[in-house]
Structure 1
Amino acid sequence: MPPGMRLVTQRLVLRPPEPGDLDALHAILRDPRATRYWSTPPHAAIERTREWLDTTLATRPHEGEDFIVELDGLAVGKVGLYRFPEIGFIFHPDVWGQGIASEALAPVLERAFAVHGLAQVTADVDPRNAASLALLNRHGFRETHRAARTWLIGEEWCDSVYLALARP
């Protein structure tokens, strides 16, 4: 992603992640509500979040593209395609229910097709995560299949619902 690139919506600024996002991201990734259906348990130590952020920062442009979501100048979440073509997102619970995720998802999906030329965008969602499934459904994603015991999160096996959105 070009340095300094920003996507701007009515309320949000989506920008590339930076090392300075560590504290804001740790506030999200340590929260058990935010990480309930995430691919890892809550980050107890900030070092775990630093490792996660370093991996995100090391993603090469041909591999994926992530954005930090800012609301009123504060980092409140992350949305993007960490590895093409799979979309992922996580937001601080303080902004849930305000349409922030939907507003952030729209330009990222548009960019996935228009700029990156993806034929489809996919998602892997825990079937208990009704909010994420509803969000993706509103954006046109459709279920392709399901699988059991796909993620071991801490000591709990979780299932997956796989969804896809074809290029318009």
Structure 2
Amino acid sequence: MKTLISSKKIVLREYEEKDWERVHEYASMYIVSQFQAWGPNSIDETQNFLKDAISDASIVPRKRYGLAIVHKEENRLIGAVEFILGDPYNKAAEIGYVLHPDYWGKGIATEAANLLLSFGFKDIGVNRIFATCDPRNLASAKVLEKIGMTLEGRMREHLRMADGWRDSLMYSILEREWSDDPKESRAGICDQAVAIEKMRPVDWEAVKKIYLQGISTGNATFQQQAPSWEEWDHGHLNSCRLLARVDGHVAGWAAISPVSNRCVYAGVAEVSVYVSQNYAGKGIGTKLLSILIEESEQNHIWTLQSGIFPENIPSLKLHQKLGFRKVGRREKIGRMNGVWRDVILMERRSIQIGLN
């Protein structure tokens, strides 16, 4: 029986022998295989790949699912995905994807990767799904971040390429971190239109109100009162001051502040993200932080960090989802209302800025 996994735009199905010509159309392109350990393929290599994928489908228990990506509207094979159950005992699997360049930039790779997550967690029952990519393959890294994977680190000289050894970035997501609810940020940011715009001084009262809401929780900041606009303005970088607005109402804000005045740390900044209680759980924080990351890189920030109280679970999950890693726990780093508090240090290192 054919494996069929379907979404709005695409179907993932088993290969057929006649598919080789369509597969070879993209597998023979250098632009497609430039970051891979294979290719550009010869005809024999493509045909052998297809034979192996078809043969794997008959192995019981099955560990490798090589599936074709078929565009629904065009009824055309446009790429491929793989789901490899390499460690059944520990319920861990690896995913991969490749797409014809005519279909790049249309959200199809993200859609296919999301289907693999659903297949792995719901149908196969794995606990951890991971993927690797070449650090130079920025588009693939963005896909992995969009589907909620966390950047675990960089594996040095992980793969042997035609021109030498290649490092790999390791991304992963756990079953408890994943959701197939379309209301979650993977499928849609918010039921209402969210506008992200530059914060202005005139917005301070609305920004301050949301800041005070965070202070009142006791788990957002060590601050006990909101500063004046002048104090806040002095302590934050002029770039990357963002405001989220829904139907004209300020729903959240994000900004960065320098961690040091030493020039060697000019590209390191501290993140602040606050969302109004009226819009909590609607993906506002995800959208703010996503755009903050993009704008920080445009302004030559290579490392973003955030100190988060261990009790602030939503903030920890938000940062982890967008590629921040846990550096460690700073124990009793500060007193708050007479009680010593710990802070989890989270960090995201850019794979685009500060590489040379």
Q: Identify unmatched segments of 5+ residues in structure 2.
A: 87-92, 177-356
Shift of 1:155: 2.7
Structure-to-structure mapping, 1:12-23, within 5 angstroms: 12-23=10-21
Structure 2 residue 9 is matched with structure 1 residue 11? yes
Q: Which amino acid aligns with 1:81?
A: F
Structure 2 residue 87 is matched with structure 1 residue 79? no
Q: Percent identity?
A: 25
Structure 2 residue 136 is matched with structure 1 residue 136? no
> Please, what is the CA RMSD of the aligned residues?
1.4
Other-structure match for 1:66: 66
Q: Which amino acid aligns with 2:48?
A: E
3-state SS, counterpart of residue 158 of structure 2: strand
Other-structure match for 1:118: 126
2:22 to 21, 24, 29: 24
Other-structure match for 2:98: 90
Q: Distance in 2 between matches of 1:49 and 1:95?
A: 20
Q: Distance in 1 between matches of 2:19 and 2:161?
A: 24
Change (3 A) 1:80 1:49: same
Change (3 A) 1:55 1:83: farther
Other-structure match for 1:53: 50
Structure 2 residue 173 is matched with structure 1 residue 165? yes
Deviation digits for residues 24-49 of structure 1, max 9, x if unmatched?
A: 11111111111111221311x20011
Q: Distance in 1 between matches of 2:154 and 2:3?
A: 36
Shift of 1:50: 1.1
Shift of 1:83: 4.3
Higher relative contact order (CA 8 A, sep 6+): 1
3-state SS, counterpart of residue 121 of structure 2: helix
Q: Do 1:79 and 1:88's aligned partners in 2 also have CA atoms closer than 8 Å?
A: yes
Q: Distance in 1 between matches of 2:167 and 2:159?
A: 7
Q: Distance in 2 between matches of 1:69 and 1:91?
A: 8
Change (3 A) 1:41 1:153: farther
Deviation digits for residues 76-126 of structure 1, max 9, x if unmatched?
A: 001131444110100000100011111122122101001111111111111
Q: Identify unmatched segments of 5+ residues in structure 1.
A: none
Q: Distance in 2 between matches of 1:104 and 1:80?
A: 10
Q: Distance in 1 between matches of 2:85 and 2:98?
A: 15
TM-score (norm 2): 0.45
TM-score (norm 1): 0.91
1:148 to 139, 156, 162: 156
| Bigger Rg, structure 1 or 2 | 2
